[in-house]
Amino acid sequence: MADARRAQLKDRTDISGARALIVEARFYDDIQDALLEGAVAELKSAGVSHDVITVPGALEIPAALAIALDAADSTGRPYDAAVALGCVIRGDTIHFEIVSMESSRALMKLAVARRFPLGNGIITVNTDAQAWARARASELNKGGDAARAALAMLRIKRRLTRV
């Protein structure tokens, strides 16, 4: 396995008062607990409040995110960033490819179309062992990585769109 390369970003643009949404797929509960723990720790560390929405699987994440963003906007409490969390483990059929590629495609399309800070923490792996290595905070911590990515994009958005 390649070593994790986490660049230390120097952007310290103020994101105080930000509100984030975590949309998590609960297909593998135990792995999801670890991903969620990493994401929540990063958001709390940055002083960002968050809500969590749970869906059955990775394919449902983009639709739930779009629904939640619209609902939050309509109530006057919009989200500033989001984190998508899930796990897709290769099986004996091509379903793995469909789920991993289509969930990623839909998330990217949503983020670009809405110009919305989003961290994609849907891990796609071949084995349970690979999933655990990416989910645990003591190892690769992909939940935390996804939250850091969302926060980095939020800082960029705030810095570039100041009025």
- pTM metric for this prediction: 0.91
Alpha helices in 28-118 (DSSP H): 29-45, 61-74, 95-114
Residues classed as catalytic: 95
| Phi (first) and psi of residue 77, to 5 degrees | -125, 65
pLDDT digits (tens, 9 = 90+) for 100-132: 999 999 999 999 999 999 999 999 999 999 999
Sheet holding 81-89: strands in order across? Answer: 49-55, 19-25, 81-89, 118-125
pLDDT digits (tens, 9 = 90+) for 46-60: 999 999 999 999 999
Q: Domain 19-160, what fold?
A: Rossmann fold (3.40.50)
